[in-house]
Chain A
């Protein structure tokens, strides 16, 4: 599921708690990744500057590798935006750049497909970045199933929590 393509882990921690997660939170997030056996070079934090984010590599069951970008500016106080760092297309060849309930996508930014991975109503500050990562890996596998079967992602996910 997870490939070794990125370089080591934490670059720096956020200078201000206002701009992103606290250093303590980042340490705890890394602890979860380690506990779950995710290799250090699968994820990388970019916490300098006003728009902190992290990048993760995700490999699907078909051995395709995708890169995910998780924006951490208001994490964990709100659901972080997650993008697949390219514009995906659906079975019909249409760009997945808009809001879709059945495909669990939101309005794209940066020219990248944005995954709807969590509802605001069920969001809590306890949700780890690892959990988001696993949900997005699940979404990517469902996306590939969509390409092969034509079923919407919703058909497989039966609506995420």
Chain B
């Protein structure tokens, strides 16, 4: 029998005796003992006694209603007993999870002590944001601000970290539980809001964060977030997938570097072939024009595989860890010399904008699939967002002016 007790709960155990809950995976000989019923219960539940009084183990008949007993002595030593026919039998006990052992496997690669106090703000908890949140929690990031107004829907599940039991829940709540499941010591603040409607909260949280992840599906929210990270001088990682997740890209903003608006200002950058994952949000975002019929709109929705967006999420996580660990000697320090670009591009398949790329076998240095390509982005002189604000370099519409003049001459 494997018996686990939550160390964090025991730290809060007060008094001499209290009833708790034993959650047993039947047929697997595993039981978790809790002071209170877990928020999302599992397995078969039975009563468990938490006590500081060792004498209860000697009194016949007093334990008949319990399946287990947890004894905490004066020296805070903890032992566990399985109760059979009213008689306690000592069993081996393991703690879940002790903070010091939580990230023991990461030692030498990541400086978990550096990541624990870091606060990461994640805007958009869809297939990108949810995966990134969990990966950062697994890496040891200790504080999160989660922002998304949406709920978990059926069409989300196949690419999302949330599960069937989360259907209908706010994504912030579902992700809160998922992060706590990986790191019960994490501080997770939930904001079920649309950042486009709550600029004050957006700015307040950007100001508090060490790093911001932009995993939304529309430019309006990216622009709002971009403005805030430029204003507060915070590093931000933007990521997205192209149509049907044929590929994707990642952009890293660092203070005083080129901003998201500088990226869009590059003539080669294609901003209009984004993945469309559902009609409702695409209409809301304007990705699908208002005059497009429902039938045509449904045809536009082309969702890629989870396996296709994972590499993009993975790059966003790597960049995040590099940024959060920057200046600290760790096993990933060398990545600071490799991940030097502002913009990264990835192709999963040779279609759409990647149709002319060469097949992977024998591609050599030519652009092909399943490889990352990095690029430095030129900062726009007098950028409307990250410039000095004196005289912004705006799109004056010369080409439209020519059309108008031609019309006047006809």
Contacts and interface: CB of A to CB of B under 8 A. Distances in A.
B74 to A, nearest CB: 58
A68 interface: no
A47 interface: no
Contacts of B287: 120-121
A121 B272 CA distance: 5
Contact of A127 (B272, B390, B394): B394
Contact of A1 (B196, B389, B404): B404
A138 B405 CA distance: 9
A78 B384 contact: no
A22 B392 CA distance: 12
Given A18-B200, A24-B390, A126-B384, A131 B271 contact: no
Contacts of B285: 120
Kindly name the residue among B223, B289, B384 whose own CB sees the greatest number of chain A CB atoms within 10 A.
B384
B271 to A, nearest CB: 7
B93 to A, nearest CB: 55
Interface string A53-90: 00000000100000000000010111100000000000
A117 to B, nearest CB: 10
Interface stretch (B95-103, B341-349, B395-403): B395-403
Interface string A19-39: 000101100110110011000
Which of under 10, 10 to 19, 20 to 34, or 35 or more describes the interface residues of B? 35 or more
A128 interface: yes
A159 to B, nearest CB: 10
Interface of B: 196, 199-200, 218-220, 223-224, 227, 261, 264-265, 271-272, 274, 285-287, 289-292, 380, 384-385, 389-397, 400-401, 403-404, 407-408
Interface centre among A28, A99, A130 (most CB of B within 10 A): A28
A132 B396 CA distance: 9
B219 A36 contact: no
Nearest to B286: A120
B404 A141 contact: yes
Contact of B264 (A116, A124, A141): A124
A106 interface: yes
A130 B199 contact: no
B219 A126 contact: no
A50 interface: no
23 contacts: A1-B408, A17-B227, A28-B394, A35-B396, A61-B408, A74-B196, A76-B223, A99-B291, A100-B291, A119-B272, A120-B285, A121-B286, A123-B219, A126-B265, A126-B393, A126-B394, A127-B397, A128-B395, A131-B394, A131-B396, A131-B400, A132-B397, A137-B404
Interface string A101-130: 100001100000000100111111111101
